[in-house]
A and B are shown apart, each in its own frame.
Chain A
């Protein structure tokens, strides 16, 4: 069936055919025909954000929490440029996003027309792929391809730039089954020889560790199930990057906590001391490796990644396996079972004894005394009061609070943790929580924030109130750019250049001004009641939690240092470790 319709209608039809139920967007001159089509249908819900950056982050939250691609619709020029931060964020964290932008009519392109920007030029480095569509006949086909590329292989953001005359003109609609088959078909099965070699190494390993990342989440629910099976069956310890939290449950007894710059002592020392590292869908980010030359010096390393360019980019892989995590784990399990489910039991048990000793250091300890709320305490209480909620989703902004959230909140399931890992985008969390709540209307969605990050996209309060989204904005307010302040204390002679938040709003009044609820809490004794009040309120809440202003986030591996050169902060000063071992263990 070759149906004739306008470009604008084609866009809506193609989105429907792709199973899209929600679009995050903001109208403007160059997308008016599309908005006109959206107005005349009910299959797709449009969420009006208050800034295009918010639209992309909301779509990221939607995508990350559902496993489906997030869809964004913005206008030309400033609409597109405002989306750039979100697109870059999605590229760094491999989040599937389809961003549709309006463009000035084809005959005006290049004339410096009103709200014209070279959108495909600007977004070329921050998308996985982008297109400028100049023919209405090619429009539906391009949108189908865009969905394929956003979701195939390593997911990422794609952008389709659509001039206004292309939206108005009539053309032939191409259905999804009739769309051009892209030559872009990343392979999902890993090489069985290498997988077998890895299983051999696993059978003999004395000090193995699983190091998992966002790739497990991106691979889908099945990957997490298989990962759990493999970990339980082998009894190997497991740690994860920031992006991979939830793939293995935090309550699992093989869990070492997050690794990396602010990861746990036991996770980082296990990475440093292991003899077999099995990297599943992580990419040896510099926040993970510390000083490359001293990164896990005595281990053989397996690297499972669907993106060949990730392998051997930073760290040499002894077992390079290119493929989708779920497929590779399935094959690993098959081979391992077929060979008799062997592990080096005695040695692994000794390894666990060593790990237990590291765990006993209690690296996340802090002292809650005095009348001021410690940020760690606030999160520990938030965790205690919400962890029974199976439908709990946690978003974060970027900074100290983000690391504390990763340390103190426990994630039992994948897709329940939304954070900006690669790009480190302050202002990500709030719009992301909006997207999550849209996708899961009855869930408990909490954005753990710092006051500075939160202010970067606070305009989305309008969105939260308009759609009655009961998102909880849990702001750890230290009136500082906490992480910047921490670096300045440690590296720049305590010269706190521009790292305090002057002229902060009254967050309770701010909430009320938007028609939401505000809660202020500054006394540890009131904290539980205040959190309960937040949880019990059916609507958006800004929770202004005044916390200790000079708390530092530990443990910490200063960059250029190795995993065994962690700073332990409070644990050291409490004398948990003896003096000599305090810094270098």
Chain B
């Protein structure tokens, strides 16, 4: 059996080990900066902060729910078709998100447009299902999902803030950089609008993170 269930029958709901599931992805094991997953969407929807937040909400729902569902099914999913089974579950969840947004948050869904569907292709989702939910119980899986969604969301918003502020002089659509700056010759950086700039920003964030977090630095030999 491909089951490596962690023995934690009587473990507290928020034991140290479980809190670590939540906090680890925020820094030490961030899905974007350390595992370098989900880069594609980090490039695509970080031009403005607002869509980035909605994307985070969508990914949050899909990762957490997907983790729980897959974790519940982990003992009945045949090993040979596990990836395609995970994909069906993720695609189903994403379609539900899409439909619910269209019905009850029509403007949000318009703003996100194609990117809702693109959650399916987010490597973090499949990555967590395959690496964690397939081998763990629902509750730890849910915590793991929450942690990773936040790890992803933090980075997304960080990149989006920089791109929107310097690319358009706005945040959340509101003007931040005053007109007087422009009169003195300040110009919005058009490069920030381009996807490659997101990659460069992610690179800079990884650099800063590694120089501050010694755990991430590979031992010199």
Bound pair (A, B): no
Q: Interface of B with A (CB < 8 Å)?
A: none
Q: Interface of A with B (CB < 8 Å)?
A: none
